[in-house]
Amino acid sequence: MEKTDVLIIGGSAAGPVAGVTARKHYKDSRVTVIRKEKEGQVLVPCGIPYIFGTVGAPEKNIIPDALLSGNNIDLIVDEATSIDREAKTVTTAKGNSAGYEKLVLATGAAPIKIPIPGRDLENVFFAIKDVDYLNGLLKALDGVKDVVIIGGGFIGLEFGDELRKRGLNITIVEMLPHCLQLVFDENFCASAEDKLKERGINIRTNARVEAILGQKKVTGVKLADGEQLKADLVFMCIGVRPSTELAQKAGLQIGETKAIWVDEYGRTSDKDIFAAGDCAEKRSFFTAKASALKLASIATTEGRIVGANLFELRRRNEGIIGGFATVIGDSGLGLAGLTETQAKAAGFEIATSEAKTPDKHPGSMPGAKQFAVKLVFERASQQILGGQVSGGSTVGEVVNVLAALIQNRTRANEIATFQYGTHPFFTPSPIVYPIANAAEAALLMM
């Protein structure tokens, strides 16, 4: 039996980051990762939709194994099947075992497969993070003309936008009144839908799939209202559920969202076992209530917290803010924190404000796009709760700025006077800088 100081189960976002962080903080410890994926086959989670258009192949969307080897982290390619908490050992599918002082569970999440008729037909696919599986999807696309995507979240929209680049007929089916409705306020959702339609993508909202049609191979999708959509291929992406089977078999506590319960340091109900990433339960930064939000960026933050806390508690997780962005064509949308809708639902009395301006200055600069920002503040404290942005390629980094302001509980007056850098090619004009202007406008309402 091999013995290691730190044993990590899972090789995607949270696991490697926890390992690298442990290596930095506990230099003399032996760190080992167990994962199912072969060498050179761990996918970048957020890059999966782009395999089918921009990137071109799963093999071009890989987290390099040098991240482990370059940090003196051992790798075991195998599947962990059970944990003996008393003996502090993990058994694998190949019949091997590994001992540990501290164990990190980073087992991620798996796609939800709703039990509708026809889901097992040929050419029905899911967002499964597996190189061979996605190569099968890539191959299936060669003989396809009509694609139906079930789910109008980030992955559904990104997948549809990429497949449209291949000249395919794309229809997105979403149960809610708008695509991205769980993420953005209505006007931002409508903006995203308009951009999709401009690109020739069909959208069916307020629509529920009743069955996937076909004998051996999919031929269409039947909606609850009786409408039938032609389909040579169906891609289902309605969410994921945490992979907790290993933790449950080991008797670890499971939380409200069916993920592994952890405290603010990332510890499970066993003080020598930590959990991070999609398998671990999260708490909201704003309400401290359990949250089901799952993002690779959150997973890596949790990996950095857990990796530092293994043998000495050094970092505390204050709860998740949530920062993310997407792109449709050359237009970006992003969010950090709470939307107006979410803030009201959480019981906050709020003030909101918006600002719009070109994302370069002057607006006649080549490639300039309209940039819009909407900020949400708590009235009593004047602290920022959230921000939504739309524009061009700068949206992602603006989201990160907003997330930092939220995490530091920055007040509207401080945002109106916060110091920023500008350049004609990269940013809006300093005179009408939208984050500062929106904060200034919000102050007049509080």
Mean pLDDT of all residues in 369-374: 94
- When pLDDT is averaged across residues 259-281 and rounded to a whole number, the result is 98
Handedness of CA 249, 319, 64, 157 (dihedral sign): positive
Contacts of 67 (CB under 8 A, 6+ apart): 16, 20
Range 413-422 average pLDDT = 95
Ordered domains of the chain (ranges, CATH)? 2-110+241-309 (3.50.50.60), 113-238 (3.50.50.60), 323-443 (3.30.390.30)
Rounded to an integer, what distance in angstroms lies between the CA atom of residue 298 and that of residue 303? 9
Query: Which residue, among 335, 308, 340, 341, has the nearest Cα to 320 in the 3D structure?
Result: 335
Q: Cβ atoms within 10 A of the Cβ of 81, count? A: 14
**Confidence band of 446 (pLDDT split at 50, 70, 90):** confident
Mean pLDDT value across residues 279-299? 96
pLDDT of residue 284: 97
User: What percent of the chain stands above pLDDT 90?
Assistant: 95
- Cα–Cα distance between 173 and 237 in angstroms, integer? 10
Q: How confident is the model at residue 249 (pLDDT cuts 50, 70, 90)?
A: very high
Instruction: Give the relative orientation of helices 154-164 and 186-198 as an angle to the nearest 10 degrees.
Output: 20
Residue 424: strand, helix, or coil? coil
What pLDDT is attached to residue 171?
98
Please choose, from the candidates 346, 353, 356, the residue with its C-alpha nearest in 3D space to the C-alpha of residue 319. 346
Q: Provide the pLDDT for residue 310.
A: 98
Q: Decide the pairing of beta strands 350-358 and 233-236.
A: unpaired
C-alpha distance from residue 23 to each of 68, 90, 94 (Å): 10, 21, 27
pTM recorded for the entire structure: 0.94
Provide mean pLDDT across the span 177-181.
Answer: 96
What mean pLDDT comes out for the span 385-408? 96
Cα–Cα separations (whole angstroms), residue 52 to 55, 133, 154, 347: 7, 13, 15, 42
Q: Which are the contacts of 51, defined by CB distance < 8 A and separation ≥ 6?
A: 57, 58, 60, 61, 134, 138
Helix crossing, 14-25 with 296-309: angle to 10°?
30
pLDDT of residue 71: 96
Enter the tokens of residue 127: 């967002």
List the one residue out of 311, 293, 313, 323 whose CA is nearest residue 395.
323
Question: In whole angstroms, what separates CA 288 from the centre of its chain?
Answer: 20
Residue 222 clears pLDDT 90, i.e. is over it: yes
Q: Which pLDDT score is estimated for 445?
A: 86
CA angle 432, 436, 439 (to 5 degrees): 125
Sign, CA torsion 176/182/187/191? negative
- DSSP state string for 178-211: STTTTTS-HHHHHHHHHHHHHTT-EEE-S--EEE
For residue 31, list its beta bridge partners.
6
Q: Which residues pair with 89 in a beta bridge?
A: 84, 99
Kindly report, residue by residue over 102-143, the tens digit of the pLDDT: 999 999 999 999 999 999 999 999 999 999 999 999 999 998
- Residue 133 is predicted with a pLDDT of 95
Q: Is the dihedral of CA 64, 69, 74, 77 positive or negative?
A: positive
- CB of 108 closer than 8 Å to CB of 277: yes
pLDDT recorded at residue 105: 98
Q: Mean pLDDT for the chain?
A: 95
Question: How far, in Å, CA of 175 to CA of 173, rounded?
Answer: 7
44 in Cβ contact with 63 (< 8 Å) = yes
* pLDDT over 70, % of the chain: 100
Please give the average per-residue pLDDT across 366-371, as a whole number: 91
Residue-level pLDDT at 354: 95
